[in-house]
């Protein structure tokens, strides 16, 4: 079984990496889906800020790797990409339970590119202003995502066309 931990700042292109992973028959487990499921079970509003606050509250209440622990319960036995790793504590939890051979893949795009993508895709959690965008980035960085990106085994830069990024992602899976 191959396990890939996927990380990157909001709007960098992780979803496009996951699209390629699905084509090559990797199971995809999104940590964000696990957070949303738990939030829904508690009756929390599904607004982006509330979900982020809920995720952080759970980390503080239980332990920093609580979402990794809960995500493990969703994994099958095949090749898997776990999307949304945000801290070294989560990485450590996965390595402890899945083995040290798992790989961390980080997708990177500049803040300017990411902001434009987030606004263009128009989801309910899209930033309304650049200040909202900066606050979201700050929240992600405070959780430790920058440390995970820095420890990545592979960095895929996503500043070009969608086709270029898909080609880079496919090359990763062929390696």
Q: What are the structural domains, with CATH classification, of the chain?
A: 3-30+78-174 (3.40.50.300)
The three-state secondary structure class of 28 is strand
Contacts (Cβ under 8 Å, ≥6 apart) of 48: 124, 125
pTM of the shown model: 0.91
DSSP lists the bridge partners of residue 155 as: 106
Report yes or no: 3 and 102 within 8 Å, Cβ to Cβ: yes
Q: Report the C-alpha gap between 39 and 145 in whole angstroms.
A: 21
Q: Report the C-alpha gap between 101 and 104 in whole angstroms.
A: 10
Per-residue pLDDT of the chain (175 residues; tens, 9 = 90+): 899 999 999 999 999 999 999 999 999 999 999 999 999 888 877 665 677 788 888 999 999 999 999 999 989 889 999 999 999 999 999 999 998 889 999 999 999 999 999 999 888 778 888 999 999 899 889 889 999 999 999 999 999 999 999 999 999 998 7
Give the number of other CB atoms < 10 A from CB of residue 114.
22
Q: Which two tokens stand for residue 173?
A: 């899976």
β-pairing, 27-30 vs 3-7, is unpaired
Q: Which two tokens stand for residue 60?
A: 């503080």
What is the reported pLDDT for 46? Answer: 64
């Amino acid at each position: 079984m191959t396990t890939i931990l996927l990380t990157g700042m909001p709007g960098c292109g992780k979803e496009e990496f996951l699209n390629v992973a699905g084509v090559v028959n990797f199971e995809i487990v999104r940590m964000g889906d696990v957070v949303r499921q738990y939030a829904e079970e508690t009756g929390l509003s599904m607004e982006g800020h509330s979900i982020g606050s809920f995720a952080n509250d759970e980390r503080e209440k239980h332990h920093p790797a609580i979402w990794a622990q809960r995500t493990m319960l969703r994994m099958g036995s095949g090749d898997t990409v776990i999307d949304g790793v945000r801290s070294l504590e989560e990485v450590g939890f996965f390595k402890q339970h899945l083995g040290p051979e798992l790989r961390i893949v980080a997708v990177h795009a500049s803040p300017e590119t990411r902001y434009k993508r987030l606004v263009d895709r128009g989801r309910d959690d899209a930033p309304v202003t650049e200040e909202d965008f900066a606050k979201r980035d700050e929240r992600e960085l405070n959780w430790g995502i920058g440390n995970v990106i820095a420890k990545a085994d592979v960095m895929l830069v996503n500043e070009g066309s969608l086709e270029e990024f898909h080609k880079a992602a496919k090359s990763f899976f062929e390696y």
